[in-house]
C-alpha cells in the first residue's frame, strides 16, 4: 500500500501567517466554495507551481466559532487555542504533478513562514489482529472482559453521566444496530478518498462524499461502539454506562486478501474529524488506528500533532490502540505525549503476542476474543483496537465522577489514575506493556481519594488517604434507555 496520498500535502504556517482568503475544507465540500489557487502571492506559490505545476489549497479545519458568533473573515475567527495549537494554520494542498512532491517538501521546509510540512499519509486500520473479526461469535460467556477489569462494579460505583460524551473516531457505526441505535448521538463522516490516490487499494462503499451519516461499512467501529455503549441485550452492557457516544467516520472501507474489509483513511480526513469532535465538546476520544514511525521519512512531521495538541488544550482525554505488530515500536497517535496508549491482554491477564510494546504504553485491557457488536448481529473481535475502548469507557466513568464532584480531569491525570491503580499481569517480568491491566473500580476509588486529599489540603484539614469519604453514586442515577 502506498504510504501517502499522491499529490497531496499538509502545510502548517507559522503563527500570524495564515491568509484570510483561503476557504475552509467544509466550506468547499458543504457550500461549493472554490479552492484557492494562490496562498501568499510569493515564495510559497512559486515553489508550488515550480515543483508541482498547478495547485489548489484549502484550510483543513473550520473555526470553532461560527460566522454568526464572530462575523469576521474565516482565518480570523479561530480563537487563541486554535491558533497556538496550530489547527488554525494547517493547509491541505493538492498539486498537479505528484512526481515533484519530494523536492517540493524539501524546498517548502526551508521557507521561514512554514512551521512544518509533510505528505498526506494514508493510515490503515483497523488495529485488529489477523483473523481477529469473526462474524459468528460465540456468546456463551459475553461478559468475561468486563468482569476481568471490574467494570460491572465500577458501574455500580459510578453509572456515568449523559453529559460526558465519548467521541469514536473510526470506520463509523452500524446506525440501526439494536444494541446501539438508542445510544448514539448525531455523528458525521469526514472521508473523501480518490481511488486514484490510494496506491491501488480497492475502495468500496461511500468513500468520496463527506456527510452527516457515519455508517460503518467495515465492522470495526461498530465493534468498538459495542464495547463502549451496548444496551446489553445480547452481549455485556457497554462499559461507559450512561455516558454519550458520538461516532465519526474517519476511515473508509477497502478490500484486502480474501475480500476481507479493512479501514483506510488519509491523515487529513482523520484530523478534520478529530477537530470537529473536539469542537462538539466530547470529553474522551477513542482512536483505534495508527501510523507506524517506520512508515515516515526521517524528516517527516509526526502525524496528528496539531490536533492532539488542540485536544489536550481543550481538556479532552485521548485513548489510542498501541498497535498489533507485536514489536517494540511507536505508532501515532498512540505514542504522542498525553495520549493513553493501550495494549491487549488475554483472559489469563497475559499480554497478547500481537500487542505492540514500548515505553509509551500506559496500560493493557482485554483484546482477544471480545464479544461485541458486528455489522449484522455480533462478532468476536481481537486486537488492540478492541482493548482501547475498555480504557476509553473507564476514562468516561472517571470524567463523570470528577464532574460529579466538580473537579477537573485531563488526559495526563486520567493516565496516571489508570496506571497507578492497575492490576499486575498474569506473569512476572512483562516489559513494554505499561503498568498492568486496568481496574476500573480501583481507578474510580483512587480518583475519589485524590480529590479528598486535595480538598483537605486546600481547606487545611487532615486528609484521609486510605478511605474515600464519598459514597458510590445512588441507584437513582441516570439509567440507560431500555
pLDDT tens digits for range 456-470: 998 887 655 554 444
Q: Cβ–Cβ contacts within 10 Å for residue 278, how many?
A: 26
Does 126 sit behind a cis peptide bond, omega within 30 degrees of 0 on the bond before it? yes
168 vs 251: CA distance, rounded Å: 11
pLDDT of residue 67: 67
CA proximity to 64, closest of 52, 76, 53, 54: 76
Give the end-to-end CA distance of the chain in Å, rounded to a whole number: 44
How far CA 313 is from CA of 283, 306, 316, 382, 453, in Å, comes to: 12, 11, 8, 33, 25
Q: What is the dihedral of CA 379, 383, 385, 390, to 10 degrees?
A: 80
Total count of residues recorded for the chain: 482
C-alpha cell at 145: 472482559
By the 8 A CB rule, do 291 and 332 touch?
A: yes
Residue 291: beta bridge partners? 332
pLDDT of residue 260: 87
Residue 328: beta bridge partners? 357
335 Cβ contact list (under 8 Å, min separation 6): 293, 341, 358, 360
> Residue 143: how many CA atoms within 13 Å on its side-chain side?
14
C-alpha cell at 93: 494542498
By the 8 A CB rule, do 347 and 366 touch?
A: yes
By the 8 A CB rule, do 61 and 13 touch?
A: no
5 vs 9: CA distance, rounded Å: 8
| Dihedral sign for Cα atoms in the order 345, 348, 354, 358 | positive
30-73 pLDDT, tens per residue?
778 899 999 999 999 999 999 999 999 999 999 998 766 666 66
By the 8 A CB rule, do 286 and 228 touch?
A: yes
CA proximity to 291, closest of 319, 261, 322: 322
Q: Tell me which H or E stretch contains 246.
A: strand 244-249
CA proximity to 196, closest of 272, 49, 94: 94
How far CA 423 is from CA of 16, 45, 316, 444, in Å, comes to: 48, 56, 25, 14
Residue 48, sorted as left (phi over 0), alpha (psi -120 to 50) or beta, turns out to be: alpha
Say how far residue 177 (Cα) sits from the centre of its chain: 22
By the 8 A CB rule, do 124 and 2 touch?
A: no
CA proximity to 449, closest of 411, 416, 410, 412: 416
| Dihedral sign for Cα atoms in the order 306, 311, 317, 320 | negative
Task: Compute φ and ψ for 258, nearest 5 degrees.
Answer: 70, 20
Secondary-structure breakdown of the chain: helix, strand, coil percentages, each rounded to the nearest 5: 30, 20, 50
Q: What is the mean pLDDT of each run of 10 residues along the chain (482 residues)?
A: 76 95 86 92 96 95 78 77 97 95 96 96 68 51 94 98 97 96 94 79 80 92 97 96 97 87 91 97 96 87 96 98 95 97 96 96 97 95 97 98 97 98 93 96 98 90 54 45 38
CA proximity to 289, closest of 271, 309, 306: 271
CA proximity to 444, closest of 71, 79, 42, 161: 161
pLDDT of residue 30: 77
Residue 394: beta bridge partners? none
Amino acid at each position: 500500500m502506498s504510504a501517502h496520498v499522491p499529490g497531496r500535502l499538509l502545510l502548517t504556517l507559522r503563527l500570524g501567517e495564515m491568509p484570510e482568503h483561503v476557504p475552509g475544507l467544509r466550506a468547499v465540500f458543504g457550500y461549493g466554495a472554490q479552492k484557492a489557487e494562490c496562498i501568499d502571492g510569493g515564495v510559497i506559490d512559486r515553489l508550488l507551481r515550480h515543483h508541482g505545476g498547478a495547485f489548489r489549497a484549502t484550510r483543513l479545519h473550520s473555526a470553532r466559532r461560527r460566522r454568526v458568533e464572530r462575523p469576521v473573515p474565516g482565518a480570523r475567527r479561530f480563537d487563541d487555542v486554535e491558533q497556538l495549537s496550530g489547527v488554525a494554520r494547517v493547509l491541505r494542498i493538492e498539486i498537479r504533478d505528484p512526481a515533484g512532491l519530494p523536492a517540493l517538501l524539501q524546498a517548502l521546509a526551508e521557507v521561514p513562514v512554514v512551521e512544518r510540512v509533510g505528505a498526506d499519509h494514508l493510515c490503515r486500520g483497523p488495529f485488529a489482529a489477523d483473523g481477529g473479526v469473526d462474524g459468528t461469535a460465540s456468546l456463551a460467556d459475553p461478559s468475561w472482559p468486563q468482569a476481568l477489569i471490574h467494570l460491572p462494579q465500577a458501574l455500580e460505583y459510578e453509572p456515568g453521566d449523559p453529559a460526558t460524551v465519548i467521541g469514536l473516531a473510526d470506520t463509523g457505526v452500524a446506525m440501526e444496530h439494536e444494541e446501539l441505535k438508542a445510544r448514539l448521538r448525531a455523528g458525521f463522516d469526514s472521508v473523501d478518498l480518490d481511488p486514484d490516490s490510494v496506491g491501488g487499494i480497492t475502495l468500496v462503499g461511500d468513500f468520496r462524499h463527506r456527510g452527516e451519516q457515519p455508517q460503518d461499512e467495515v465492522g470495526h467501529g461498530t465493534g468498538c461502539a459495542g464495547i463502549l455503549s451496548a444496551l446489553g441485550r445480547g452481549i455485556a452492557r457497554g462499559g461507559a454506562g450512561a455516558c454519550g457516544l458520538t461516532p465519526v467516520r474517519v476511515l473508509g472501507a477497502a478490500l484486502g486478501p480474501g475480500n476481507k474489509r479493512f479501514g483506510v483513511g488519509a491523515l487529513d480526513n482523520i484530523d478534520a474529524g478529530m477537530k470537529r469532535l473536539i469542537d462538539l465538546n466530547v470529553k474522551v476520544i477513542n482512536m483505534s488506528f495508527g501510523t507506524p514511525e517506520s512508515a515516515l521519512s526521517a524528516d517527516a512531521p509526526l502525524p496528528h500533532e496539531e490536533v492532539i495538541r488542540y485536544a489536550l488544550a481543550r481538556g479532552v482525554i485521548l485513548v489510542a490502540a498501541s498497535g498489533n505488530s507485536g514489536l517494540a515500536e511507536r505508532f501515532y497517535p498512540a505514542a504522542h505525549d498525553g495520549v493513553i496508549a493501550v495494549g491487549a491482554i488475554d483472559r489469563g491477564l497475559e499480554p497478547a503476542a500481537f500487542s505492540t510494546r514500548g515505553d509509551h504504553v500506559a496500560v493493557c485491557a482485554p483484546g482477544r476474543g471480545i464479544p461485541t457488536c458486528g455489522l449484522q448481529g455480533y462478532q468476536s473481535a481481537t486486537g488492540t483496537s478492541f482493548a482501547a475502548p475498555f480504557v476509553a469507557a473507564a476514562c468516561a466513568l472517571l470524567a463523570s465522577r470528577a464532574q460529579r464532584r466538580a473537579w477537573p480531569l485531563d488526559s495526563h491525570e486520567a493516565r496516571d489514575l489508570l496506571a497507578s491503580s492497575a492490576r499486575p499481569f498474569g506473569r512476572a517480568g512483562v516489559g513494554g506493556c505499561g503498568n498492568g491491566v486496568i481496574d476500573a473500580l480501583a481507578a474510580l476509588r483512587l480518583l475519589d481519594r485524590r480529590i479528598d486529599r486535595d480538598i483537605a489540603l486546600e481547606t487545611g484539614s487532615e486528609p484521609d488517604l486510605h478511605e474515600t469519604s464519598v459514597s458510590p453514586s445512588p441507584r437513582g442515577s441516570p439509567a440507560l434507555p431500555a
